[in-house]
Amino acid sequence: MAAPDFEQALVGAISHLRAFARSFANDPARADDLVQETLVKAWNSRDSFTPGTNFRAWLFTILRNVYFSQHRKLRREVDDPDDHYQNSLSVQPEQYGHLDLSDFRDALATLPSDQREALVLVGAEGFSYEEAAQICGCAVGTIKSRVNRARNRLVELLGDEDLKPGSHHEGETPPAGTLLKSTAR
């Protein structure tokens, strides 16, 4: 891939990288740091990218490796897994849509990291199970299992009967939760 094409592809992937980074780090600033580090590593390793392969998958693999490297270094930091401290510092949204999104984010944050990662890759980022398996370095069946367990756990946590499979009639548009439904490929 020529330098201008590489640069355009890199810039075009930033929003996807940001979304994936948010699945790892609930803190937007930390997610942006992960993306920045990923972009620097990708740029410095641009000669190692094989043209014709999946560029986004390559970037997501770099981001994932950056996250796990940083995670190992940051083990001694105080963690706020339930966003208890973070939520106490912010004003809660007034609109129901924001509350639903907040509930979804909280539920998503409680999932084991491997399930959350698989759900975001397949459900939100649109990667195939095969591509997600390649990014995560595991078998396709493992990704399918993680996505299924993640979806089921989110339905359980959110307590929304409308999200369960078969809860709406044929031809009827399913209610909110299209992220959960779209992962049932």
Domain boundaries, the chain: 1-75, 95-185
- Contact between 130 and 145 (Cβ < 8 Å): no
pLDDT value of residue 54: 92
89 burial via Cβ count (<10 Å: 0-12, 13-18, 19+): exposed
Residue range 95-185 forms a domain whose CATH class is mainly alpha
Give dist(CA 107, CA 155) in Å, integer. Answer: 9
Whether pTM exceeds 0.85:
no
pLDDT per residue, tens digit, the chain (185 aa), is: 666 788 899 999 999 999 889 887 878 898 999 999 999 999 999 888 888 899 999 999 999 998 888 777 766 666 667 777 667 665 555 666 666 777 888 888 889 989 999 999 998 888 999 999 999 999 999 999 999 999 999 899 888 655 555 554 444 434 434 444 444 43
Structure tokens at 140: 């396709």
Give dist(CA 120, CA 146) in Å, integer. Answer: 11
pLDDT value of residue 184: 41
Closest CA to 125 of 175, 177, 56, 173: 56
Closest CA to 87 of 26, 22, 25, 158: 26
Looking at the structure, give the CATH architecture of the domain made up of residues 1-75: Orthogonal Bundle (1.10)
- Contact between 64 and 23 (Cβ < 8 Å): no
Give dist(CA 22, CA 117) in Å, integer. Answer: 10
